[in-house]
Amino acid sequence: MFRDATHLPQAPLPEDLDHVLDPVVYLGTYRGDPCWAAGVPSGIQSPAGFVDVGESLEGAAEREVWEEVGIGIHDLRYAGSQYWPFPSQLMIGFTAQYSGGEITVNRDELEDARWFSIRALPELPPRLSIARFLLDYYAGSREQRSRQ
């Protein structure tokens, strides 16, 4: 179901670039067994943000996690996409493994962030959201592995 994200060379951008789509990356970040990094104002909130012009999706994902919670990630994998409820926006979901650093919350982006056990998460996002898809997939894959 998941595919490895690959880094490709960037093509030069025209000076008069006029875009018609505003892509947004959304991350589920895992650390070991079985933790999830999340912000918690009133439930799960993961790093997310717009892709800058000239930036790859993978680059935006790494940047957003670093800017919002101050940790490094690796093993970035595409999970799926979902329209965003504003014109011209698309959510692109990824999962990633934690690679280092201590969570340092950027208060301009999140109210709080910490590691949660997948079995003890605060209020879950709605089932139709990409955030919930990432959580359910991770929890399901963990459960399958424990039965083997």
9 inside domain: no
- CA atoms within 13 A of residue 45's CA, in its CB half-sphere: 14
- Measured from the Cβ of residue 80, the count of other Cβ atoms closer than 10 Å reads 15
Rounded to whole angstroms, the Cα distance separating 120 from 131 reads: 16
Q: What DSSP designation does 6 have?
A: -
Domain that holds residue 31: 21-147
32 inside domain: yes
- Measured from the Cβ of residue 101, the count of other Cβ atoms closer than 10 Å reads 13
How confident is the model over 73-125, as pLDDT tens digits?
999 988 888 877 676 788 898 888 889 999 898 888 887 888 877 777 777 77
Binned at pLDDT 50, 70 and 90, residue 2 comes out as very low
56 inside domain: yes
The predicted model scores a pTM of 0.75
Tokens describing residue 87: 């014109």
pLDDT surpassing 60 at residue 34: no
Total domains present in the chain: 1
On whether the CB atoms of residues 64 and 94 are closer than 8 A, the answer is no
Binned at pLDDT 50, 70 and 90, residue 14 comes out as low
The enclosing domain of 124 has a CATH number of: 3.90.79.10
63 inside domain: yes
Rounded to whole angstroms, the Cα distance separating 25 from 121 reads: 22
For the segment 44-69, the average pLDDT, to the nearest whole number, is 88
| Entry field: residues in the chain | 148
